[in-house]
Structure formats: C-alpha cells, structure tokens
Structure 1
Amino acid sequence: MAAASMSQSSTDIAPSADLLALAASRSVDDRHRLMLGVVALCKANPPTDGCAPALSDIFLTLARDAEARIRQTLAEQLADVPWAPRALLDLLMLDEIDIARPVIARSPLMRDEDLLRILVDATLEHQVEVARRPHISGRVADAVIDMAQPAPMAALAANTTAEISEAGLGRLIEHARRIAALRSPLSRHPRLNQKLAMTLYAMVGDALRTELQARFVDAGPALPAAIASAIETAASKPRSPAMTVLLASSSDRDGDRDEMDRRLVGKLQMSGQLKAGFLVRAVREKQIGLFEHGLSALSGFPLGQVRQAIRRAAPDALYLACAAVGIDRAVFPTLLKEMRALTGGLPGDEAAEVTTRSLTPIEAGYAFRLLMETETGLPV
C-alpha cells in the first residue's frame, strides 16, 4: 500500500466493514489504518462506561508497534475524549514530548497522581507541559515549585489558571531573585497581592515597576518607598567583611569564585551569548563578579579599570563603560541603584548623579579610555 495512506486523517479512514480485513493484514500501513479506524469508530459511537478491556488491549498492541508520528496522531485523537484507555494514556503521557504534549495539556482523565508522576519520571520538557496545563491543583503547583527548575517555574508563573496559593506565589517570588524570567509573569499574575508586590517591586526594572504602581494604585507611594528604604538601608550599613573583599583588587578576591566567573563569561562569549542584557541581569541577581568580567570582556577594557570605575567617587566612568557595550541610558539609573545596594553606595553617593547623555558605543568607549588615561597618566 502506498505510503501516502499513512497520512490519512481519522475522518478519511476505511469504513468499519473493512476493519476486519485490515486486522487480518500484516502490513504496517494497514495496522496504522486499523488503529485510526478503531479511533474513528469509537468517536462515532463513544463508549458510555469507558473503553472495554479488549478494546484497550487492541489500542495498546497497535500503539506499541506504531511509528512516532502515528502515535502522535493517536495522542491528538484521544487527548479530549473521556473514554480513552487508561493504560494507553499511561503509555502516551511518558512518550516523546510531541506525543505526550496533547495528552498532558488536554486529557480530562489526567489526575494529580499522573501529573506528579510525569514531574518525577519524565523530561524537563514534560515538566514544562505539566506546569502549563490549565487549572492544575495547588498540590501539583507546589510540586513544580519544589523542583526549583527555572523553565517549569516560569511556565507555572505564566499559567494564570493554576491554583497557586499565596505561599506558593511567595516562593516563586523568592526564586525570582535569581531567575529573571519569573519577574514579568509574576508582576502580571492575577493572584499577586500588595504585600507580595512590594517584595517583587525591588527586583524588577522601571517598566514593570510602573505597571505595579498602576495596578496597586491604592498603595500610594508604598511601593517605591519600599525599594528606596531598602537601598538606603543597604547604603548606610557599614561594609561587611564580604563587601570589603568584593571591592578589593583582583588578587585579593576569592580566587576560585573569580576564576569561575571568568570562565563562565568566556564560555558565553565564545558561544555568542554574552550580551548587554546579561550584565543587567547579573547585577539584579547580585552576581557582581559576573558583571565585572562580562563588562570587561564585552568592552575590551581591562578588568582592573572596570573595578576602578565601580569604586570611584562618581558614577560617570561606570556609565561610560556601560554605554560602550550598549546598555541603554534609560536602564542605567536602575542599574546604578542596584549596584550601590550591593557595594555600600559605590560608585559615588546619591549627590553624585551622572548625566546620562546620549552617546554611541564608540563615543562612550573613547570617553572612558580618555577618562582612565587622564586619571592614571597611562595610555589605555
């Protein structure tokens, strides 16, 4: 039989009178047509009490021998029906992700136990599909959060129908301190309340802060005041021993950590993934070593000069270095606040604000080099 017959839809299958002939055939194509024909027959006359054991065995036998694309068609056909054989769903939900996806996403027969089993036994892609499934229970949502994997948690944060408790949402916000992809969906989540929003406000950029302020208009100045207070408190505290180490020269820092940061930045640069956005995320996630090495690698400025720009009494050098690698001037004020929160107020104090004039990366790079040359007396 021609291969084209394998691509027929279930609405174009041989009549039920021909199913016995197909069952007698040993042809792979005929077995595929038989399987789709049985599905079409069941859809035309849906079983009222679920799939009979014999029919379930037929589905299982045929599905195990079928090619992946035929199993995918079977999964699509059975994803929405209430009479799908239980054993067949158990097989399909752990199959390749393209086959499992419609079953995980839509089957009305998926129970919490099934979804929890997928989280434990299947791949990361399967976990993401569980997190995306509409109306998952709080039990399943908590299990996704417990696994602490960025991609499934991001999918869960974007799933506005999931039954996430306030405590669960709070845990996601805590993970957002290190996982930037969680911040935007959490900022727009319908279950976000004012208390959680104040925690999230400190982590997000200006655009999301504006959205949060508009959404929680009853909070008045509470949201911006919360972040301002946190920054002021951090800036007024005496520097801890750890901060002293952070601001020391490269030779005085934790050598192992510094080398790890350098290697990671090197790998990102080699793969073409080192971008200006990475530097912004590094500061937001309190990874100042990654920011220093990343800025040095992207700009070509010596690492010592990058660290000197952070320790200066004014933020102009840091702005020039950031502008030289394409960090938008509208982003810099927020980056500067977050940097000062990490460094006890450096570069510069609040009175030493920088004029973020518009410069091309080439102009900013030249100005940075000129500034460093003027201060050190050495060409750069």
Structure 2
Amino acid sequence: MTLARSRDPGDRERLLTGIIELCEAGQSAGAPTDPDIQRLLDSIFMTLVVEAERDIRQRLSERLADAPWAPSALINILALDEIEIARPIIARSQVLQDHDLIRLMVQATLEHQIEVARRPRLSASVVEAILARDEHAVLTALASNDTAELSPDSLRRLVGRAKDIVALRSPLARHPLLSSELAEQLYLWVGSALRDALTSRFHLDPETIALALDQTLRAAHRGDGPAQDGGIESDEDRAEMERSLVEKLDAAGQLRPGYLLRVLREGRLTLFVTALARLGRFESPQIRRAIDSNRPELLALACSAVGIDRSVFPTILEHVRQLNGGRPGGGDEGARRAGSAFGPFTPDIAGMAFRQAVGAV
C-alpha cells in the first residue's frame, strides 16, 4: 500500500515488479486465475503503465514479452508504444493474436509493420494483410522470414514484386519454399551472383531459359499466341497462357504501352486487359469492370497511369468498344469526359484515382 500511494517512479516500478512476480509464481504453481482477479490485475497494470516513464515501460515490455498470463489490453498498448518498447512484444508475445497483428499493420508505424513481418511463424491471414499493404520494406522483411506461412500464391506474388523491389531478390533467392518455376522467373531479374546460386540450387540451364524467353518474345511480336492456338481446351487455359505471356514480356522489359494498341488491332481484348493490368499494377477484374461500365473515363485513367498519350486514347477507346459490344458506354459525351483523365498530374496520381473510382463501380 505504501508503494501504491507513492508517486516516485522507482516505487511504481517496484510495485509493478512485485505484482509480476506474484503472477509468475501463480503461473508456475499451476493455479487457475479467477476472472475477478484477472480483471483486477488488468486494471492495476493499465493504471500503473499509463503513468510509467519510458524506461519503466521498456523494462516491463521485456519482462512481459514471454508471459502467457499478461493482460491482453496491456500487451496491445505496449505493442503500439515506441518501437524500442514494442519490439519484444511484437516479436515474442503469445498474447498477441492474428487480429491484433493485422490491426498493427493498419494503425502502427512502418517500423512496427516491419517487426510484424519478422515475427516467427506468422499465419497465412497475417501474411495476406502484409501483401495487401504492399510496403516495400515490409515485404522484404516478410521474404526474409523463413518461418512465415507462405502459400504458393503468396510466394508467387512476392516473386512478382521482386521485379520492381530490388531488396526482395536476395532473400527470395534463398527462401526454402522457392520452387524451380519461380526460380526461373526470379532468374531474369537478379544479378550474376544470385543467378549462379539459383542455377546451382535448382539445376537451371541459362541457355534454355534464354531460348524460351526469346521464343516467347518473337511469338508476341508476330501476333501469335493463345487466341490462335487450336490446341487450347478452354477459356481458362487461354487466360493462363495470356498471363504467362504478359509476365514474360514484362520480365524482359518488352511490355510497353504501345503493345496495348497492337493487341487491340489484332482483336485480342482479353490480352489487352491482362497487359494493361500488368503495366499499371492493377487487377484484371478492375480493368474488366472499367471497360464494361458506362464511364470511359475509368479506362482513360488506367491508360493515363501507364503512360498512354491523350492523342492515342480515342483510338484505344474505339477498338475496345468494337470488341466489347459498344462498352464502355457514354457515347461522345463519355469520350469527352475521358479527356479530363489526361490532366496535369503524374501517372501515379492517375493510378490512385483509377483504383478509387473503379472500386465504386
């Protein structure tokens, strides 16, 4: 009671330490915690910690990081504290649940998010939240976390981002879950040292990879492809082959805005959708919603985001309407509105505007 009445920081810390030791002793003895006692402990800890100085909170964080009995509310508060205080809690506390970690991804700083991505044995749901945020440093931390629950699709998405995020390449090249198929894709983007490592690990043949890429590029430039291949059994097969073609063109640096007009002239609307989505880092369903709408300005924003010139867009719109049953609608008035998408702003701004606008369609 004397310690509780004192305002001295040292007395407050001694009181906290004494309560922790009592809880640890009860945990070691296997005594069940009465709900009323647990609520009382929660209240005591919260009151003391809110008023505690930084050094006390940091020592408390280290002490409680491995305590399974620690109050959930207190652990979540410490996890949102300064990063030096939050780090042991985020890294080790069993009290933090998946929904707590996902909330940190939304509410906390970039440093906190990186610590979440480094946490051992991350679940698939937290991995998905990290991928959705698409922060370069956080993705790199995730790629370096060999214990995270990465599905084949999650790993594929990380490898796909490695084209633009150099820091991802090294940890992915060494990741134990990397498949030979993804290794071939990653091979195109890494330097000589990592290429040697991938070749040795997966027994890759650089000449075979180069030959396959060269054949794909030649076929793309000739206009050959899935739409003309009689051996394709279904629309799903065709879509998969088109995705593969676009990925290889992109990996080789051959996927450019001019390619979009070429495939439209060849009557290959689905390939146009796939290529535009890849160029703008959009989702194909977003592009499909835009061209099926009555708002051609949505398609214009997507084209502006990938560097299509204002003067070229009317030709693209005409081809898309011819191949898509007159959609996107809006007539001449819609085409006029679409011109505003090529305003005095950067492609990044156009891309952000497209994602926001198409989400409401």
**TM-score of Structure 1 vs Structure 2, range by shorter chain:** 0.5 to 0.7
- Could you tell me how far 1:22 is from its partner in structure 2? 1.3
Whether the 8 Å CA contact 2:155–2:178 is kept in 1: the answer is yes
> Could you report, residue by residue, the CA deviation over 1:189-245 in whole angstroms, capped at 9, with x for unpaired residues?
01101111111111111111111111112x5x2x5422453257558959999689x
2:59 is equivalent to residue 68 of structure 1: no
User: Aligned partners of 1:96, 1:241: CA distance in 2, in Å?
Assistant: 44
User: Aligned partners of 2:208, 2:164: CA distance in 1, in Å?
Assistant: 23
2:127 is equivalent to residue 133 of structure 1: no
Per the alignment, in what secondary structure is the counterpart of residue 42 of structure 2? helix
- Could you tell me how far 1:49 is from its partner in structure 2? 3.8
Match of 1:250 in 2: none
- Could you tell me how far 1:33 is from its partner in structure 2? 2.0
CA separation of 1:77/1:215 partners in 2, compared to 1, >3 Å: closer, same or farther? Answer: same
2:137 is equivalent to residue 154 of structure 1: no
Q: Among 207, 210, 213, which residue is 1:230 paired with?
A: 213
Whether the 8 Å CA contact 1:49–1:83 is kept in 2: the answer is no
What is the CA RMSD across the aligned residues, in angstroms? 2.4
> Could you report, residue by residue, the CA deviation over 1:65-120 in whole angstroms, capped at 9, with x for unpaired residues?
01112111111100001100111112111111111111111011111101101001
Match of 2:199 in 1: 213
Whether the 8 Å CA contact 2:79–2:90 is kept in 1: the answer is yes
Larger radius of gyration: 1
Residue type at the aligned position of 2:17: L
User: Aligned partners of 1:142, 1:224: CA distance in 2, in Å?
Assistant: 36
Out of 102-111 and 232-241, give the one that drifted further: 232-241
2:109 is equivalent to residue 109 of structure 1: no
Whether the 8 Å CA contact 1:201–1:227 is kept in 2: the answer is no
User: Aligned partners of 1:29, 1:170: CA distance in 2, in Å?
Assistant: 52
User: Aligned partners of 1:35, 1:184: CA distance in 2, in Å?
Assistant: 44
Whether the 8 Å CA contact 2:76–2:96 is kept in 1: the answer is no
User: Aligned partners of 2:200, 2:32: CA distance in 1, in Å?
Assistant: 52
2:21 is equivalent to residue 35 of structure 1: no
User: Aligned partners of 1:207, 1:28: CA distance in 2, in Å?
Assistant: 55
**Residues 20-59 of structure 1 mapped to structure 2, 5 A cutoff:** 20-46=1-27, 48-50=31-33, 52-59=38-45
Match of 2:155 in 1: 169
Match of 1:88 in 2: 74
Whether the 8 Å CA contact 1:48–1:83 is kept in 2: the answer is no
User: Aligned partners of 2:65, 2:162: CA distance in 1, in Å?
Assistant: 33
Per the alignment, in what secondary structure is the counterpart of residue 52 of structure 1? helix
TM-score by length of structure 1 reads 0.54
Whether the 8 Å CA contact 2:72–2:96 is kept in 1: the answer is no
User: Aligned partners of 1:189, 1:224: CA distance in 2, in Å?
Assistant: 24
- Could you tell me how far 1:24 is from its partner in structure 2? 2.7
User: Aligned partners of 2:256, 2:201: CA distance in 1, in Å?
Assistant: 40
User: Aligned partners of 2:171, 2:80: CA distance in 1, in Å?
Assistant: 28
Whether the 8 Å CA contact 1:101–1:129 is kept in 2: the answer is yes
Per the alignment, in what secondary structure is the counterpart of residue 134 of structure 1? coil
User: Aligned partners of 2:217, 2:173: CA distance in 1, in Å?
Assistant: 24
- Runs of 4 or more off by more than 3 Å in structure 1? 47-51, 231-244
Give the length in aligned residue pairs. 222
> Could you report, residue by residue, the CA deviation over 1:42-84 in whole angstroms, capped at 9, with x for unpaired residues?
2233274457111111111000001112111111100001100
TM-score by length of structure 2 reads 0.57
User: Aligned partners of 2:117, 2:256: CA distance in 1, in Å?
Assistant: 41
CA separation of 1:224/1:53 partners in 2, compared to 1, >3 Å: closer, same or farther? Answer: farther
- Could you tell me how far 1:124 is from its partner in structure 2? 0.6
User: Aligned partners of 1:49, 1:139: CA distance in 2, in Å?
Assistant: 31
- Could you tell me how far 1:122 is from its partner in structure 2? 0.6
Match of 1:324 in 2: none
Residue type at the aligned position of 2:130: V
Residue type at the aligned position of 1:122: A
Out of 46-55 and 77-86, give the one that drifted further: 46-55
CA separation of 1:125/1:228 partners in 2, compared to 1, >3 Å: closer, same or farther? Answer: farther
Unaligned runs of 5+ in 1: 1-19, 245-380
Per the alignment, in what secondary structure is the counterpart of residue 161 of structure 1? coil
